Amino acid sequence: MSHTADEGPSSPSAGGRPGARRPARRRGEIVRSLRTYLIGLGLAILITVVAFFIARTTLVWQPSIPVALFVLAIAQMGVHLAFFLHMTSGPDNTNNVLALAFGVLIVGLLVVGSIWIMANLNHNMMPMERIMQMQRMG
């Protein structure tokens, strides 16, 4: 049985079984993969340090701190998606991007719905002074 360069003894087209050993990866692939993970780790650490610095310092205009932290949070998610989960916009990642979009939609609906419900409850709640008056009378 002959194998092409892309097929190992465990690939389905080679007739291998699922638990069989795969051929060793080339050294260049391992170095490239390790470099990608290290760059992602460095960026994630940098963004985290900058977020803590912005939250603790007085050098930044105070009303802009929540916006800056939100932007850094989005950047942190982007670093994790690109460097650790290897999500790209290529045709082979369409299902992954759709699953991510669906997850973001569900989380957004939960957060917005919860805030909406709490605001509605707060608006319709009896004022505290009135509750205290009712307790004194009864």
Structure confidence at residue 100 (pLDDT): 87
Range(s) of the domain holding residue 98 = 91-138
Rounded to whole angstroms, the Cα distance separating 40 from 18 reads 31
The structural domain count of the chain equals 1
The answer to whether position 116 is within a domain reads yes
79 CB neighbour count, 10 Å cutoff? 19
The answer to whether position 118 is within a domain reads yes
The answer to whether position 68 is within a domain reads no
Structure confidence at residue 80 (pLDDT): 93
The answer to whether position 135 is within a domain reads yes
105: left (phi over 0), alpha (psi -120 to 50) or beta: alpha
Structure confidence at residue 18 (pLDDT): 66
Structure confidence at residue 23 (pLDDT): 62
The answer to whether position 37 is within a domain reads no
pLDDT per residue as tens digits for the range 13-68: 555 566 666 566 788 889 999 999 999 999 999 999 999 999 999 999 999 999 99
Structure confidence at residue 2 (pLDDT): 47
The answer to whether position 120 is within a domain reads yes
The answer to whether position 40 is within a domain reads no
Whole-Å CA distances, 16 to 1, 103, 122: 11, 35, 63
Query: Region 93-117: what's the mean pLDDT?
Result: 92
Structure confidence at residue 27 (pLDDT): 86
pLDDT per residue as tens digits for the range 70-104: 999 999 999 999 999 888 878 888 888 888 899 99
